[in-house]
Structure 1
Amino acid sequence: MCQHKPACPSAQATDREAATVVSAHPDQGWSLLCNGVVLFDDTGEILPDGKIVAPRRVTGVVACAAA
């Protein structure tokens, strides 16, 4: 699907989010990447084969020591 040189990461690659945005819809909270991945603002994804990747949310609280 990707015509870029060098080619963007495939939809199966671990760095798939690094692919070029071909259609951005920030008002709706999603973008289509050239590898066919739909990337949502909350970091969730839909892969071209229909597989859903859950959002990666930061959990827990980071404690800071008082100086």
Structure 2
Amino acid sequence: MCQHKPRCPDAGSADRDQAQLVAQAVSQGWSIRCNGLMIFDDTGALLPDGQIIAPHRPLPTLAGAA
């Protein structure tokens, strides 16, 4: 899919989210990269083949939790 020179990382590679942005819906919380990766604001993602990448944001800590 990518036509950039040098090519953007493939959707299967570890640095896949570094690919160029091609579409974005800020109000809906998603963006699509040129490698077909759909990234969501919750840090989850959807690969072009339909595989799901679970959100991987750090969990908030509770202040004063025992």
Q: TM-score, length-normalised on structure 1?
A: 0.85
List per-residue Cα deviations over 1:4-61 (Å, max 9, x = no partner): 0010000000000000110011110000110000000111000000000001021364
Uncovered stretches (5+) of structure 2, i.e. residues with no partner: 62-66
Distance 2:40 2:59 in 1: 19
Counterpart of 1:3, as a letter, is Q
Superposed structure 1 runs of 4+ greater than 3 Å apart: none
Q: Residues 3, 43 of structure 1: CA spacing in aligned structure 2 closer, same or farther, 3 A cutoff?
A: same
Paired position in structure 1 for 2:21: 21
Q: How many residues align?
A: 62
Q: Percent identity?
A: 54
